[in-house]
């Protein structure tokens, strides 16, 4: 395992375990299969992974419960634990302390190594500022209940610059992968952090798994080079950057865990030939995205009608590539009637939760009409 020493006297694994896509008991629920998920964590820890990332909202709170029941069987000092304060919840309960104390209890720990203001965008930033959340985090740091303070970001460049200027951060978490490097200007955010000497934590290095799946043309670019998985190139792209503290991967099965461990046990920097391949794959993959959804699931927390938003977008992206009308019609019909796009009432609740800034109701409306239009 490769380690980073960007934070003084800490040895943090370059591969971080994101606890948001753990195996579930039933795909239609948020209940994590603790036994299966525990096996993944055991393998990761045995192989040297020591950074674990959860959040208040992951799996409707089950991810933090999993930490409290399973991860904490390991000695507290043997792992770094990161979790996050949900700005959306502060809208109805403007008391960060209440949420924080609840998280400590749910995770069964006395302190968090890394604590983030979650998914900051222009709207949520205002909520954090109104509720004094940053000042609260500093107080918790003083009391030893937080070791490092940061935020995860999905907002505008001007907000990013302002937050770096106005507050003091130990680290910042951004979406960074070879596809978004130019596309969503991850490069600019990364460079700003580098200039200020603030370590960067990478989220979505494989873009919700889509840079593993790719499309046939992009996949062929990598298979011509080696048998290594497409995901391994995406992870190495992020991990090779000198100011990256750890790269989070939301692992959900043993195959992924083992593949990632293999990646982070070998050579990280991409060769010139590999860099060319990555750039080529990004161009070939661009046409894949009818909807740039990463399946993060944040919108699901907001939707009053429990619409299966990421599943619907995934089907539509597949259809965009295959143009297989019959296959799309069949799989769209397989989405339970009480979760399909036709139930969208265009309330817009989901939009502010979406880190990719997708106009979800508009896309759903369009997709729902597709089966009729193709017959």
Point out which residues bind ligand SF4 (CB under 6 A): 293-299, 302-303, 305, 307, 309-310, 313, 344-350, 353-356, 358, 360-361, 364
Nearer to ligand SF4, 70 or 344 (CB): 344
Quote the least distance from Cβ 174 to ligand SF4, whole Å. Answer: 15
CA 241 vs. chain centroid, Å, equals 18
Interaxial angle between packed helices 34-46 and 62-69, expressed in degrees from 0 to 180 and rounded to the nearest 10: 60
State the minimum distance, in angstroms, from the CB of residue 248 to ligand SF4.
15
Q: Are 14 and 243 in contact (CB under 8 A)?
A: no
Q: What is the DSSP letter of 271?
A: P
Find the helix or strand (DSSP H, E) in which 61 lies: none
Q: CB of 235: closest distance to ligand SF4 in angstroms?
A: 20
Quick one: 244 or 350, whose CB is closer to ligand SF4?
350
Please give the Cα distance from 155 to 162 (Å, whole number): 11
Please state the closest distance from residue 295 (CB atom) to ligand SF4, in A.
Answer: 5
Give min distance, CB of 120 to ligand SF4, in A.
15
At its nearest, how many Å lie between ligand SF4 and the CB of residue 309? 5
> Distance between CA atoms of 13 and 310, rounded to whole angstroms?
30
d(CA 313, CA 368): 11
Residue 292: CB minimum distance to ligand SF4, A: 7
Of residues 261 and 296, the one with the C-beta less far from ligand SF4: 296
Q: How far apart are CA 164 and CA 284, in angstroms?
A: 35
| H or E stretch at 40 | helix 34-46
Please give the torsion angle defined by the CA atoms of residues 135, 139, 142 and 147, in that order, rounded to the nearest 10 degrees: -70
CB half-sphere exposure, 197, CA atoms < 13 A: 3
| Residue nearer to ligand SF4 on the CB measure, 172 or 350 | 350
End-to-end CA distance of the chain: 52
Which residue number, 241 or 364, has a Cβ lying nearer to ligand SF4?
Answer: 364
What is the DSSP secondary structure assignment for residue 110, as one 8-state letter? S
176 three-class SS: coil
Integer-rounded Cα Rg, in Å, for the chain is 20
209 vs 361 by CB, closer to ligand SF4: 361
Nearer to ligand SF4, 19 or 358 (CB): 358
């Amino acid at each position: 395992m490769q380690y980073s020493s960007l934070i003084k006297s800490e040895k943090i694994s370059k591969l971080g375990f994101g606890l948001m896509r753990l195996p579930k008991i039933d795909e239609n629920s948020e209940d994590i299969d603790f036994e299966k998920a525990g096996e993944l964590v055991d393998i990761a820890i045995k192989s040297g992974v020591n950074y674990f990332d959860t959040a208040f909202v992951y799996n409707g709170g089950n991810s933090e419960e999993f930490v409290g029941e399973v991860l904490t069987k390991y000695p507290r000092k043997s792992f770094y634990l990161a979790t996050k304060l949900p700005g959306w919840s502060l809208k109805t309960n403007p008391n960060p302390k209440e949420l924080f104390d609840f998280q400590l209890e749910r995770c069964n720990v006395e302190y968090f190594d890394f604590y983030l203001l979650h998914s900051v965008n222009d709207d949520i930033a205002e909520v954090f500022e109104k509720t004094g959340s940053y000042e609260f985090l500093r107080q918790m740091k003083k009391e030893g209940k937080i070791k490092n303070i940061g935020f995860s970001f999905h907002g505008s460049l001007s907000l990013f610059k302002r937050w770096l200027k106005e507050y003091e951060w130990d680290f910042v978490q951004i979406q960074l992968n070879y596809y978004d490097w130019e596309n969503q200007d991850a490069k600019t955010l990364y460079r700003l952090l580098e200039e200020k000497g603030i370590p960067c934590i990478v989220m979505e290095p494989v873009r919700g798994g889509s840079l593993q799946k790719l499309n046939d043309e992009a996949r062929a670019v990598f298979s011509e080079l080696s048998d290594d998985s497409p995901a391994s190139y995406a992870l190495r792209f992020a991990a090779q950057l000198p100011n990256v503290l750890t790269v989070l991967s939301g692992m959900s099965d043993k195959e992924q865990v083992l593949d990632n461990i293999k990646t982070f046990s070998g050579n990280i920097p991409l060769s010139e030939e590999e860099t060319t391949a990555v750039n080529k794959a990004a161009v070939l993959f661009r046409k894949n995205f009818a909807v740039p959804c990463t399946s993060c699931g944040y919108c699901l927390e907001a939707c009053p009608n429990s619409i299966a938003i990421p599943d619907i977008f995934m089907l539509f992206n597949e259809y965009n590539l295959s143009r297989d009308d019959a296959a799309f019609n069949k799989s769209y019909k397989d989405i339970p009637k009480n979760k399909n796009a036709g139930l969208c009432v265009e309330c817009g609740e989901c939009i502010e939760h979406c880190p990719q800034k997708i106009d979800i109701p508009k896309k759903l409306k369009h997709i729902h009409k597709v089966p009729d239009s193709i017959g």
